[in-house]
Amino acid sequence: MAISEKSRDSGGQRPESGAQALKRRRSELAAAARPGETWEQVALRIVEAKPQAPPAAAKPKRASAMPAWPETLRCVPNEILRCSLFNARNRNVRRIEDMPEHDLVVLFNGRITYSGPELRQQDETVWLQLVHLARLAGPGEPVEFVPKSFLESIGWPLNSQSYNNLRKCLKRFQKTSIAIHSDRLQAGISLNMLPKFEWQDANRAALRRYRVVLPPELVELFSGGGFSRIEWQQRLALPVGIATWLHGYYSTHRKPYPVKLQTLKDGCGVTFRDHSDLQETVARALLALVEVGFLESFEITDGIVHVMRRES
């Protein structure tokens, strides 16, 4: 299946269409392929053909604060977006409340171990907003927010269920333990996703302003520019699930390489009984990314997913 949008003629030479750009990208990969290599094998070889990490003595300087970004964006360390930490399972599937330590599926050179409640894409939306608010505070400093304003920022309806779901989500973060090992970081970083959350006073009355503290180690994950920018309004316009996971994953690649459908399924943390159901569901999610203006085009051929991001 291929979806593309025609580019407008800007006078003179006709701009390259999404389908033409995708075809050109595939031709470039085909030219780089060795005998017998699949699309994914050549893409993986190109990705891994990068200079070795510098020796320990030359490690990049750690960041002392998170970078600044505008209100229209949400920024996330690439390792978080390239793994199954926030899975895309259907909300009707019962959530696992206490997962023992295990390896997450990762789509980068490294490893992530996690224990705690199962986290889903709705949780990621909340976490993105927390990180967004914390960018203006120092590492480990408390951050306060009005829950009503928070709900408005993440596009949730203003009702008792949303307030309750927000508190449940923040409490889930308090029970987490995650360790990230990445070639980029040249070290392992362990953290709890939300060391502190206050929402009641001494009389158990709800506070007007919630207070949270994010882990100071979070700053290190932003070091070296190893993070991606999420177009916030695009994400909020997408159906929560596979579409939002793919939006995050492809945001980490300016020129995405072909990826196996099975690899994306594993990264999303979802299961399908039938391969055709998987392809149809992923195609719908990719179409949603085209409709919000994130992708120019996509194609799924022989179990390989090719996408072309729209130039901003």
Contact (CB, 8 A) for 185 and 211: no
Contacts of 105 (CB under 8 A, 6+ apart): 83, 84, 266, 267, 269
177 and 216 fall within a common domain: yes
Its domain, for residue 288, covers: 17-47+255-307
If asked whether residues 24 and 79 sit together in one domain, one would say no
What's the pLDDT score for residue 55? 45
Q: Give yes or no for a contact between 185 and 205, defined as CB atoms under 8 angstroms apart.
A: no
pLDDT at 9: 42
58 part of a folded domain: no
Residues 6+ apart with CB under 8 A from 31: none
Q: Could you report the per-residue pLDDT of 133-157, keeping only the tens digit for each? A: 999 998 999 999 999 999 999 999 9
CA dist., res. 289 & res. 239, Å (int): 10
Number of domains composing the chain: 2
In this prediction, residues 73-96 reach a mean pLDDT of 95
Domain identity same for 119 and 70 = yes
**What Rg, from alpha-carbon coordinates, does the chain have?**
21
* Residue-averaged pLDDT of the chain: 88
pLDDT, tens only, 191-202: 999 999 999 999
Please check whether residues 74 and 189 belong to one and the same domain: yes
Q: Are residues 77 and 134 both part of a single domain?
A: yes
